[in-house]
Amino acid sequence: MPKPRLPRLVIATHNRKKGGEMIQILSERFPNLEFRTLADYPNAPEPEETGSTYAENATIKAESAAKATGEWSLADDAGLEIDALDGEPGLRSKRFAGEDTPFPEKMRRILELLEVVPNQRRTARFRCCVALCPPPQATSHKRQATSVFEATCEGRIARKPSGAGGFGYDPIFSLPERGCTMAELTAEEKHAVSHRGKVLRTLGDFLEANFELGDA
């Protein structure tokens, strides 16, 4: 039986930086696949993230986008887990210290909480789940269920922000083996080691194994 064709993929986010990063990673591997974001669908809703896990939140967003756009849709949910803070901010990473609080202020607050914590106890990780959901018209396909993938990137919380690359908490996420923060890496270097880069490689393997990608 021939593989089903997947001509395009909707990245289910209104976040330009996140969407741009995901498209950059995937388009390098799949240059013939058309990518869109929710910015291309003005009426697509922003669903409430009511899940108790990253996987549940990613699934909520992917399924909402697939229903709204009629296209295969991909969503992620990610967070920063700090061991000395019992895994916080975790699922609350975007809402930590208030959803509308700028990330420099969020990072300042985290550094305050960790001020007396020694370097060896500042371990942390980024965790990312992505969910791939078929559109409603594909429900008869044998792979109709939403597929979920997960990856992590281990590191430590730096003593102060450093670097202008990336986004979110990247400036305080230190990679000891590289001697720098995530924000000090080039885009290509970041994609090679980051939680999002890792999980999208796994997703890419799944797409290659199960679909004909791009236009006929």
What residues are annotated to the active site?
77
What's the distance, CA 28 to chain centroid?
17
Let me know if 72 is exposed, middle or buried by CB neighbors in 10 A (0-12, 13-18, 19+): buried
What is d(CA 119, CA 89) in angstroms, rounded to the nearest whole number? 19
Region of 121 (left: φ > 0; alpha: ψ -120 to 50; beta: rest) is alpha
* Interacting residues of 98 by C-beta distance below 8 A, sequence separation 6+: none
Under 8 Å between Cβ of 69 and 41? yes
Q: Is there a contact between 9 and 189 (Cβ–Cβ < 8 Å)?
A: no
